[in-house]
């Protein structure tokens, strides 16, 4: 996968089945050439649809999406 992708869609979830703490944020991110990843995002991240994101490994969820900074750009 390329280092950075683009946030395709996201939602902050306020109601979930018992046992799942809320709120949490979910999103899809697109990576070239034709991969769409689903992951959690930081709830408070300033991330809009279309913004650059990158993948970070996470013990609980496997991986998460975070905002990509200028230094992450290829």
3-state secondary structure of 61: coil
Taking the C-alpha atoms of 65, 68, 71 and 72 in order, what is their torsion angle to the nearest 10 degrees? 50
Is residue 1 involved in binding other proteins (CB under 8 A)?
no
Nearer to other proteins, 21 or 74 (CB): 21
- Per CB under 8 A, the list member of 16, 56, 72, 73 interacting with other proteins is 16
- Contact 45/26 with Cβ under 8 angstroms? no
Which H or E element spans position 52? Answer: strand 52-58
Is residue 12 involved in binding other proteins (CB under 8 A)?
yes
Size of the site for other proteins (CB under 8 A): 28
Nearer to other proteins, 28 or 54 (CB): 28
């Amino acid at each position: 996968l390329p280092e950075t992708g683009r946030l395709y869609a996201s939602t902050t979830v306020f109601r979930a089945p018992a046992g799942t703490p809320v709120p949490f944020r979910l999103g899809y991110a697109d990576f070239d050439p034709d991969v769409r990843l689903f992951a959690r995002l930081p709830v408070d991240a300033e991330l809009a649809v279309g913004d650059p994101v990158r993948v970070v490994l996470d013990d609980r969820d496997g991986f998460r999406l975070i905002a990509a900074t200028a230094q992450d750009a290829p």
